[in-house]
Amino acid sequence: MAFNLKSIFGGSQHDGKERRGDERIKLPDDATILIVDDSRTAIAVLKKTLAPTGYSIISAADGEEGIEMAKQHQPDLILMDVIMPGLNGFQATRILRKEPQTQKIPIIIISGNEQATEKFWGLRVGANGFLPKPVARGELFHLLREHLSKAEVL
């Protein structure tokens, strides 16, 4: 099977509608999204996808680094892969939820395993949302809009 960027990101539709008509997410200029993923390709694709939003995008290659970066940078949202060396995404999410300085940061789990148990455990350890791979671009922006607008109100 040949490598294809669509294996990481699906189409750009959300609930059968084009996202192009959706309102852009408006956040302060200093808004930051932390991507925690051991795949440099997945990070690059997410950065390219999110670049037009104007967000500051930072990344970490594993759970331990993701926790440290979350504490240091206090991002507005975290996109967390599940399968990584060292601490996996579930373990890192659980730790972030126990830390007073990171417990309120929205976390969206991204997983190549679309089973219901994967989503269940992600939400059980404290994630705010779940996206299966390949990530549907429209669904990504829908969750960003939902969780970042809540964070803006806090």
pLDDT band (50, 70, 90) for residue 40: very high
Q: How far is CA 6 from CA 2, 44, 105, 119, in A?
A: 11, 13, 28, 21
Tell whether 8 is covered by a domain. no
The tokens describing 41, both together, are 């390709």
Range of the domain at 82: 29-153
Across 143-153, average pLDDT: 74
Across 108-131, average pLDDT: 87
pTM for this prediction: 0.80
Average pLDDT of the chain, as a whole number: 82
Tell whether 13 is covered by a domain. no
DSSP tag of 87:
S
Tell whether 4 is covered by a domain. no
For 6-26, how does the pLDDT look when each residue is reduced to its tens digit (9 = 90+)?
Answer: 455 554 444 444 445 545 545
The H or E element spanning position 91 is helix 89-98
Q: Specify whether the CB–CB gap between 52 and 144 falls below 8 A.
A: no
Q: What is the CATH number of the domain that holds 38?
A: 3.40.50.2300
Long-range contacts of 86-90 (CB under 8 A, 24+ apart): 86/62, 87/62, 87/63, 88/63, 89/36, 89/63, 89/122, 90/121, 90/122, 90/125
Who contacts 122 (Cβ-Cβ below 8 Å, separation ≥6)?
Answer: 82, 89, 90, 93, 109, 111, 130
Tell whether 121 is covered by a domain. yes
Domain count, the chain: 1
Whether the predicted pLDDT of 153 surpasses 60: no
Whether the predicted pLDDT of 5 surpasses 80: no
Percent of all residues in the chain with a pLDDT value above 90, rounded to a whole number: 53
Rounded-to-integer distance, Cα 77 and Cα 25, Å: 13
- Model pLDDT, residue 136: 85
Q: Specify whether the CB–CB gap between 74 and 105 falls below 8 A.
A: yes
